[in-house]
Amino acid sequence: MKLTEKQVKQSEENSDTKRRLSLSSSVTKIREYCVPDVVNAFHVSVEKSGKLWVSDNIGDLVKTNLQGFLLRERYFIGCRPEGYHTVAQDGDLIYALKGAKLICRITPKSKFSDLSFKTGDWAPMSLHCSHINGDTLVGMKNDKDAKISRYNNAEKEIQSIHFDNKGKNLYSSPSYITENINGDICTSDYDNEAVVVVNRNGLHRFSYTGQGSGFCPFGICTNVLGHILVCDGINNTVNVLDQDGGFLSCLLSQKEGIERPRGLCVDDENNLYVGQYGTNIVTVYKYLQ
């Protein structure tokens, strides 16, 4: 895949940042968002302005600012303990209507959502808008199978990822999805109890299944260093992997007050946002130095 001028510039900027940053020996809590009208912070999408879209497992989706003011009226999407929304490069919110098999879009100025495209016989579960080229990655399933599809800016499906090199299904329940700086597609698969990673061409690279004491993956994101960060719902931790699946550290645990982490994302200032089951508070941490 030939890189565009923008992608080359972005790669150079990422390389410069990687030379300057590293994992800190400790994390620092820098702020909290108290999100109105949600029960649990199951999934978090952050805008460049610092405003948040947060959803719970009851079906509520809201937008809030740091002061806890509700910026958009509440949307009821239906019971969704999944990463079904993402903020696009232009600031639009893209979200999935699983039952209707639709992908919808809310622009910063629109009050109501617009139909973007349909997903056929597949029920969309998770979404991520690529920061590399603007493509939309969608984790979806039907009665027999699960897959990851890539849609371009014209809302046309240009890639479909089902199987590994032995013809076995890669996914069972692609609940949360993200993309790494090297183009890898990283998926948190709840039913498979694994983080499944394929390269940009859809070839299976590795699956991470925890550190031997059970593993229940939820929210997942990547950072400018190529690290993969994932919530472990069984061990109540946020773990950090390198881009080849090697375990680097347990970044957050009950020792830092983390209980049942679910939602996870990073912003442009390399801060980490963590949502938890049982509270409507999203906590922001500084974890790179």
If you average pLDDT over residues 11-20, what whole number do you get?
Answer: 55
If you average pLDDT over residues 75-95, what whole number do you get?
Answer: 89
Distance of CA 198 to the CA centre of its chain: 15
Calpha distance 92→94 (Å, rounded): 6
Calpha distance 150→133 (Å, rounded): 11
Does residue 276 have a pLDDT over 70?
Answer: yes
End-to-end alpha carbon distance in the chain: 33
Phi, psi of 142 (to 5 degrees): -130, -160
Distance of CA 7 to the CA centre of its chain: 21
Task: Look up residue 2 and give its two tokens.
Answer: 């030939």
Calpha distance 8→233 (Å, rounded): 37
Q: Residue 112: which residues within 8 A CB-CB, separation 6 or more?
A: 106
Calpha distance 164→6 (Å, rounded): 31
State the DSSP code for 4: P
Distances (CA, A) of 85 to 61, 108, 139, 207, 263: 9, 15, 11, 24, 11
What are the pLDDT digits (tens) for 152-192? 988 899 999 999 999 999 999 999 999 999 999 999 999 99
Calpha distance 284→286 (Å, rounded): 7
pLDDT interval class at 25 (50, 70, 90): confident
Does residue 29 have a pLDDT over 70?
Answer: yes
Counting every residue written for the chain, the total comes to: 289
Q: What is the pLDDT of residue 195?
A: 98
Q: How much is the pTM? A: 0.89
Q: Which domains does the chain have, with CATH numbers?
A: 21-288 (2.120.10.30)
Distance of CA 245 to the CA centre of its chain: 17
- Backbone CA torsion sign across 100, 103, 104, 108: positive
